[in-house]
Amino acid sequence: MNLQDLIYFHYLAESLSFTDTATHFFVSQPSISTAVKRLETEFNTSLIDRRKTLKKMELTPAGKILYKNTDEILKRLDKTRQQIEDIELGYVYYGFLPTIGGYFLPEILPKLTQYSKDLKLVEEESSDIMLNMILNEEVPIAILGHEEPYIRQNKIKQILLMEEEMALWVSQNHPLAKKKAVGPTEIQNEVFISLSEGYTHHRIFEKWATHHGIVEPNIVYAKEIKTVKSIATSTHMVGFMSDILMSEDTDLVKVHLKGAPKFYISLVLNTEAENSYVQQKFNQAFIEVVKGLKFMSK
């Protein structure tokens, strides 16, 4: 079987256009048609529905199956190429969340200078997305946040680095700014601002609100931390965030929550991932450095 035929078919299945596919690969349209026919011969089936009554091209059921599996095959090939390149060039990868990573890396990276020139940061904003990337072997190691003390995934190795209480953050002229701590009943009618679905903070807030009987909380969700901070600073909305997301020079005032939920931060890696020898050495060195540091819960 010709790998290029699969590549052509994969693009054709997504574009549903012989013309667009030929243009994309700088080949003639008959070349694409010939590639499809070779695959149909190989699998002894029709991949394209050629009925003239159709207004646009459609895949047959067999074509849809081949597309799904071709998608997986090509992704696996890309990953294989990347792994081989990593071995040849000696690259190592670390999953980086700007907020959490920005707090820990100044303590860690100076102790891993032997990897500096080969280190590639894979940046993401969301801990949820980063965890999925770890599970899917897209990232070998990362520091991320979670709402429970333990990440319940069989193939995950976790080293808990820190736990801290969630808190409220308000503008300096907000009535709550004069209080050191408040309970759930005192803030029932406040309008909150926090991180949206896909962020750990979203689930922590919803569980906390439900637990304390705040049935329909007035809450606005934002996708970026800087947006949450900006809105909380310029309005009377109440920010719901962990300390690690806040810079020391913030204009917001911290108000403690009585019975506050906790936010956990861990070093995480996939124990079943097929890492290069250099990546394995980096992971182990990273773990040893982290174990030697005394990160204290706030």
pLDDT number for residue 89: 57
- Is a pLDDT exceeding 80 seen at residue 85? no
pLDDT tens across 243-270, in order?
A: 888 876 688 999 999 889 999 999 999 9
Q: How far apart are the first and last CA of the chain?
A: 59
Sorted by sequence, the CB contacts under 8 Å of residue 215 that are 6+ apart come out as none
The residue with tokens 């574009």 is 15
Sequence letter at residue 51: R
- Is a pLDDT exceeding 50 seen at residue 298? no
Question: Distance (Å, rounded) from C-alpha 44 to C-alpha 50?
Answer: 16
> What is the Cα Rg of the chain in Å?
25
Total-model pTM = 0.69
Whose CA is closest to 34, among 20, 48, 14, 15? 48
The DSSP 8-state label assigned to residue 131 in this structure reads: H
Question: Distance (Å, rounded) from C-alpha 209 to C-alpha 217?
Answer: 7
| Both tokens assigned to 274 | 């097929």
- What is the SS3 assignment for 150? coil
Question: Distance (Å, rounded) from C-alpha 19 to C-alpha 163?
Answer: 56
Mean pLDDT of the 199-210 span: 87
User: Residues of the chain with pLDDT > 90: what percent?
Assistant: 47
The residue with tokens 């705040």 is 214
What's the length of the chain? Answer: 298
Q: pLDDT band for 90, please (50, 70, 90 cuts).
A: low
pLDDT number for residue 294: 66
Higher pLDDT, 8 or 89: 8
pLDDT tens across 92-147, in order?
A: 899 999 888 888 888 898 999 988 888 889 999 889 999 999 998 889 999 999 99
Q: Count of CB atoms within 10 A of residue 74's CB?
A: 15
Sequence letter at residue 222: A
pLDDT number for residue 284: 94
Sequence letter at residue 42: E
Whose CA is closest to 128, among 104, 105, 95, 154? 95
Determine contact, residues 170/177, Cβ cutoff 8 Å. yes
Higher pLDDT, 84 or 91: 91
Q: Are strands 238-241 and 191-195 parallel, antiparallel or unpaired?
A: parallel
Query: 29: number of CA atoms within 13 Å, CB side?
Result: 5
Mean pLDDT estimate for the chain: 87
